[in-house]
Amino acid sequence: MMQKPLSGVVVLDLTRYLAGPYCTLLLAGLGAEVIKIEPPGKGDLHRRFPPFVGPKGAAGQPQTADDMGVFMLHRARNKKSITLDLYHPEGRELFKALCRKADVVVENYSPGVMDEMGASYATLRELHPGLILCSISGFGQTGPLRNWRAYDPVIQSMSGLASVTGYADRPPTRCGAAISDTVAPLFAIIGILAALRRREQTGAGEWVDIAMLDTSFFLQPDLLELLNGGIEPRRRGNTHAAGTPLNTYPTRDGFVTVAVTTDKNWQCLLAALEREDLKTDPRFATPLSPSGTATDRCRKLSPSRSRARTGARSDRLSDTLPGGGNSHSRTPLQSRCAPTCPPDHHSSTWSAPRRSRSPCRPWCRWLHYPRTVLW
């Protein structure tokens, strides 16, 4: 078996909830030996958080002694687990002994908690000058907001994500997925990998300080670019200021998402819909036209025509292009026309053949996953 890139790297995992465990989950996937440190007694909160999975399947309540929360099964996979009381002197000494042999420590406590446990970066650096500490928090380890409580909805609101999600006549809306919680660990991994590379060059460790608020700003480059171009970001539903038609439209058997951002996309879409008569219509000459008639060029398309595109929704559009319309392949349409797709529900997302190579899919099938051992 090919050796993974982080093989031989030892990571101590002091994380909880989502942002921290997701970081160490991905490090483990890259080959690191991740040792999850849980509090004594019942261990991580998500061991007993529903829904549960065990020998008898999934349920809202535990059905056997071997059942475990699905969140724990997902976020703790490929990790080892031990229990340590980091507020007890002996527990602290054991943790320090582990730190002397580790490469990375990842934690997402509130700022200051590591100091209270006698595990500040200054202390850890004295134990092991090459140790890398990664701290994930809502607003960073310094600054006036360092002590604010932060969960995903708070960060989505404060970063401006919620202000541009939803429709103009409705309140700011949180993204359906915990996007602020899951982007922070990606930046944490970038910082950890950079610190590991720097350590190869200098031998010195590093303190990687990740603020969820900062990382959520980085999710919005197009909005910041539009703002600098004089276009105020606002809630637009499924449309976008960068082009049109870019929206979700009804068909006879569901919805189709169309994303036209170039004139070539627009010309090909018209050909696919058999509406070449609109190619020279001056009202639709530019996707960024400020005129009301060009706010959404697709409104000119006959509703009866769009609703007649049945079968696999947008797949019928590819019938007019070379290659035909395979029920699970939009390659002709995607490569020669406007990007389109039906908005999938999660249940169909996991089962569709086009997702069969997804790296996340296998964990959805776990039924008899062994209980993580607490030493």
Catalytically annotated residues: 240
What is the CB-side half-sphere exposure of residue 217 using CA atoms within 13 A?
8
Element (H, E) at 297: none
How many whole angstroms separate alpha carbon 214 and alpha carbon 141? 12
For residue 85, the tally of other CB atoms under 10 A from its CB is: 16
Q: Transcribe 28-51 into DSSP letters.
A: HHTT-EEEEEE-TTT-SGGGGSSS
Residue bearing tokens 């700003």: 217
Closest CA to 245 of 270, 271, 214, 212: 270
DSSP per residue, 256-281: EEEE--SHHHHHHHHHHTT-GGGTT-
Which two tokens mark 201? Answer: 């060059």
What gap in Å lies between CA 222 and CA 120, rounded to an integer? 38
d(CA 232, CA 220): 13
Q: Are 156 and 182 spatial neighbours (Cβ–Cβ below 8 Å)? A: no
Question: What's the CA gap between 66 and 63, in Å, rounded?
Answer: 8
Alpha helices in the chain (DSSP H): 19-29, 70-75, 89-101, 113-116, 121-127, 152-159, 179-202, 212-217, 221-228, 263-272, 303-307, 331-336, 346-351
Distance CA 69, CA 126 (A): 38
Residue 160 · residue 173 · CB < 8 Å: no
Q: Is 141 helix (H, G, I), strand (E, B) or coil?
A: coil
